[in-house]
Structure 1
Amino acid sequence: MSTTATVHDRIRHAAAELAPRLWDVAQELHRHPELAFEEHRSAALLSKELDSEGFTVERGVAGMETAFTARAGNGDGPCVALLLEYDALPDLGHACGHNLIAGAGLGAALALHNAMPEIDGTLLVVGTPAEEGGGGKAIEVEAGVFDGVDAALMFHPGVYSWSSAPLTAQVQYRVGFHGRAAHPTGNPTEGLDALAALIQLFNTVAAVQRRLPEGSHIQGIITEGGRATNIVPDYAEGRFGLRGITGTLLDELIAELARAAEGIALATGTVVELTQASTRYEHFRNSDVLSATFAEHLSQAGMTVGEPTPGIYLGSSDIGNVSARVPAIHPFVAILGPDESDHTPRFAEAAGGPDGRRAMLASAEALARTAADVLLRPELGARAWSELRRKEAAGL
């Protein structure tokens, strides 16, 4: 059996040899961005790369045409998953750097497979569509793709270099008020103004927002407010995005939105409907055990990550749904400075430039080494599982 030090050394050499090929793949994704659930070209490219290296590839998993898995190993031991994201943003392309996430995950898989051609356990590569709305990972979790996995690993390019990701729980709700139409000059007393009820809900939400804990919020837009100014609207609808630091806090926000809407409906004589309008993203539970392992390997690859800055939250991701079931990491590695932001043209440019390349290649090597540690050191996985159970019990 190979020692971890020997495997780490082999990974370093393999990652260096793979570097031009991985950057070609990342550049190809960058040149041809595809939106959520439409990533046919990207999924085909990535799965073909894995297929050509002897992985057993399954396409169209979890009922999604652009999702796939690729496996290597004999199954007699731990299972470690490397996660690949590859969807892009409307009008902005890879302004979140998913081409780099895919390139790093692919590189980690190929380097590890090269370093450990006979794996006692399972190396699982998971193609995860639609992170930018749609929640491919959440769908895969429910379909059982992560059943039996002992560690789920990925990195994300960003404007900070952090060992863990402060990602909140998030969901959207549609709130519709049904009233009764009337003409404001002909029969005004017969009307039940649905739009007025919706506006009252926005005012109530604004008051609630002022007392929410750090990292939580409710933000809404009006999606339907009537058709003509001389008719009292009989229907009005808003869409509200809710975020909570934890899933428990998100549940409390949902209940508060429902209570406010129902109270307003009672006061105005309208009827209200609340329906979930998006896939729910759970908050991210970081595996401190595995993150520390990744951070150590990343420093040996020439880059460093520190602890998150208190009070800064970076949105939500469907990796949270994975982390609720399996020990997981989602470190950020900076490709721009902290005065910048992702989801911008500047970030898209960086994701196709030299800073993106450096972050991707260093992360690929660190991910491969971390995955090797999970496969070769059973006690590491045991510690990660113990930590996850403690966090679950504490509601963290």
Structure 2
Amino acid sequence: LVEPTIISTLFSYSPELRSLSGNIYQHPEGKFEERYAHDLLTAFLDKEDFKVQKDYKSLSGGTEFRAEYTSAEYDPSLHPTIAVICEYDALPEIGHACGHNLIAESGIATGLAVRDVLKNNPEVQGQIVVMSTPGEEDGGGKCYLLARSAFADIDFAMMVHPFANNDLKPVILGADACNIHFHNSDNASSLTCRPMDAAVQLYQQIALFRSKFQVDWKVHGVVNPLPEKESPGPGLMSLEKSTHSWYMVRAVSQKDFHHLQRKLEEFAEAAATSTGCRLDFQWVEEMEVYTGMVHNSTMAKVYREYSEKEGVVYPDSAKPFYGSTDMGNVSLAVPSITRASRWEKK
């Protein structure tokens, strides 16, 4: 049995794990700027006999790493290679409100526990990889890592995300955003071509379309966000010439996701045509497209079995997660699970 080893490791390292999490919380860093967290975690893993590769796959910023521990008789053709995910970027202005410091802590804790299982049980062979994935907050770090074949040798990937309830298969939506500009056509008067009318009509079409939404379809939007510190007067005067709207579409399945994208494009074109405005529609190139999460049912079942032994309770009707993360992209390439976990202070 490996459970006693796992429990013993987690309890013995509890003070250090709490310290790692607390230090990352106290030093919030934005996407691809997580140098403090990167150095803190790699130094700890190096000390704990993991083979650490810094600046793994050379993403922008160099704040990613891969740390491995391999059993004595590991053969990649026979034995599993498991990745546990660490995130540690913070949100702009509000810090670690999304709890990525806890995701880092849980990834390190899992790596330590599996290391000790491999070290103390010769009948268990395999490789545990602590995979860091910086820039999750609108940066798509995992998307870049996937494009660079970082998960090519991984058989199974897993991570945990803080949430209000325990949820074994949280609903995680794909996401993409766009900028929509309606312009006053050349030589058109403000009476025959009104960009603000087009923006309002677009919003109204989306509002009416919501009656046909499935429960996991989401469309969010902001009309005419004025630059910071700009007074309303000049901004409102400029609406006769052009308007800017920002929208995001989100859904679980790729089919539904692309359907919402097409509908948004159609609505924008219809609004431009009916108001005589010129349309400039662009999906945000700087934002990686996140896909919906496909949870591996077999591994989720195993996870539930062992976690319930330790007293974890899964509500029969948990409130849906409805978040978005680039872990969804990983799940389309590698069998994966992401558990939403209730964190309680003790």
- Normalized against structure 1, the TM-score is what? 0.76
Report the Cα distance in structure 2 between the residues aligned to 1:188 and 1:89, rounded to whole angstroms.
41
Structure 1 gap segments, 5+ residues each: 336-354, 359-396
Deviations 1:21-59 (A, max 9, x none): 111111111222222222111111112111222222222
Which of these residues, 315, 325, 334, is aligned with residue 342 of structure 2?
A: 334
Report the Cα distance in structure 2 between the residues aligned to 1:156 and 1:246, rounded to whole angstroms.
21
1:301 aligns with 310
Which of these residues, 172, 178, 182, is aligned with residue 173 of structure 1?
A: 178
Q: 1:302 offset after TM fit, Å?
A: 3.4
Report the Cα distance in structure 1 between the residues aligned to 2:176 and 2:27, rounded to whole angstroms.
29
2:279 aligns with 272
When structure 1 is superposed on structure 2, of 222-231 and 74-83 the one drifting more is 222-231
Report the Cα distance in structure 2 between the residues aligned to 1:99 and 1:302, rounded to whole angstroms.
24
Report the Cα distance in structure 2 between the residues aligned to 1:97 and 1:188, rounded to whole angstroms.
48
Query: What secondary structure does 2:308 align onto?
Result: helix
The verdict on how the C-alpha distance between 1:36 and 1:75 changes in structure 2, with shifts beyond 3 A counting, is farther
Q: 1:306 offset after TM fit, Å?
A: 4.5
Contact 1:180 1:232 in 2 (8 A): no
The verdict on how the C-alpha distance between 1:10 and 1:265 changes in structure 2, with shifts beyond 3 A counting, is same
Query: What secondary structure does 2:334 align onto?
Result: coil
Q: 1:103 offset after TM fit, Å?
A: 0.7
Which of these residues, 131, 147, 153, is aligned with residue 148 of structure 1?
A: 153
Which of these residues, 86, 89, 93, is aligned with residue 88 of structure 2?
A: 86
Q: Quick one: which amino acid aligns to residue 27 of structure 2?
A: H
Which of these residues, 242, 245, 248, is aligned with residue 241 of structure 1?
A: 248
Q: Quick one: which amino acid aligns to residue 305 of structure 1?
A: Y
Deviations 1:356-385 (A, max 9, x none): 4x6xxxxxxxxxxxxxxxxxxxxxxxxxxx
Contact 2:184 2:190 in 1 (8 A): no
The verdict on how the C-alpha distance between 1:28 and 1:313 changes in structure 2, with shifts beyond 3 A counting, is closer
Q: Quick one: which amino acid aligns to residue 263 of structure 2?
A: E
- Normalized against structure 2, the TM-score is what? 0.86
1:71 aligns with 68
1:121 aligns with 126
Q: Are 2:258 and 1:257 aligned?
A: no
- Name the structure where helix makes up a greater proportion of residues: 1
Q: 1:214 offset after TM fit, Å?
A: 0.8
- Stretches of 4+ moved more than 4 A in 1? 224-232
Q: How does 1:1-396 map to 2 (within 5 A)?
A: 5=1, 7-62=2-57, 63-64=59-60, 65-73=62-70, 74-76=74-76, 77-117=79-119, 120-180=125-185, 188=190, 192-223=193-224, 227=234, 229=236, 233-277=240-284, 278-306=287-315, 309=318, 312-335=320-343, 355-356=344-345
Contact 1:166 1:308 in 2 (8 A): no
Q: 1:164 offset after TM fit, Å?
A: 1.5
Contact 1:215 1:244 in 2 (8 A): yes
Query: What secondary structure does 2:108 align onto?
Result: helix
Contact 1:156 1:332 in 2 (8 A): yes
The verdict on how the C-alpha distance between 1:54 and 1:257 changes in structure 2, with shifts beyond 3 A counting, is same
Q: 1:230 offset after TM fit, Å?
A: 5.1
Report the Cα distance in structure 2 between the residues aligned to 1:212 and 1:178, rounded to whole angstroms.
29
Query: What secondary structure does 2:333 align onto?
Result: coil
Report the Cα distance in structure 2 between the residues aligned to 1:29 and 1:175, rounded to whole angstroms.
37
Query: What secondary structure does 2:132 align onto?
Result: strand
Report the Cα distance in structure 1 between the residues aligned to 2:238 and 2:336, rounded to whole angstroms.
54
Contact 2:163 2:342 in 1 (8 A): yes
2:229 aligns with none
Q: 1:174 offset after TM fit, Å?
A: 1.3
Deviations 1:212-264 (A, max 9, x none): 11121212112467946556633322110111132210100000011111222
2:230 aligns with none
Contact 1:14 1:115 in 2 (8 A): no
Deviations 1:77-97 (A, max 9, x none): 221000011122233322222
Report the Cα distance in structure 1 between the residues aligned to 2:190 and 2:332, rounded to whole angstroms.
52
Contact 1:177 1:270 in 2 (8 A): yes
Query: Aligned pairs, how many?
Result: 328
Q: Quick one: which amino acid aligns to residue 315 of structure 1?
A: G
Q: 1:294 offset after TM fit, Å?
A: 1.5
Query: What secondary structure does 2:212 align onto?
Result: coil
Structure 2 gap segments, 5+ residues each: 227-232
Q: 1:274 offset after TM fit, Å?
A: 2.2
| Overall identity of the aligned pairs, in % | 26
Query: What secondary structure does 1:58 align onto?
Result: strand
Q: Quick one: which amino acid aligns to residue 288 of structure 2?
A: T
The alignment yields a C-alpha RMSD, in angstroms, of 2.4
